[in-house]
Amino acid sequence: MSWQKDDAGITFYCDMPDCKSVLIYPDPLLSPAAASSGADFIPCLADAKARLGWVSFKRVGRPWDYFCKGCAPNAETAHRRYSEQENERDRIKARNAH
């Protein structure tokens, strides 16, 4: 699970298999906007992305994946490759359909 919400707030987990990075909201040391929003997902995710360098990616038929700043470059490369392969599969299907 990439994130979890409970009475205490929201916890984000990095989806890179070997990474143990975790963000917990609300946290008074983080931005006041995110801290004041409590456990509202959108402001917390926006803060994680803008200030802390986290990224998120979506693949068709799968839940969102979240990655910490340290894993973001590898995750971006993997996502770009996946998208390129998916586009190539779609192009081949379209060509073979005729």
Domain locations along the chain = 3-96
Q: How confident is the model at residue 43 (pLDDT cuts 50, 70, 90)?
A: confident
Going by C-beta distance under 8 Å and a sequence separation of 6 or more, which residues neighbour residue 67? Answer: 14, 15, 16, 19, 54, 55, 56, 57, 75
Helix (H, G, I), strand (E, B), or coil: what is residue 21?
coil
Does the pLDDT of residue 98 top 80, yes or no? no
Residue 95 has pLDDT above 80, yes or no: yes
**Local structure of 54: helix, strand or coil:** coil
Do residues 98 and 48 touch, judged by C-beta distance below 8 A? no
Whether 19 contacts 26, CB under 8 Å: no
Q: What is the mean pLDDT of residues 71-92?
A: 94
pTM more than 0.85: no
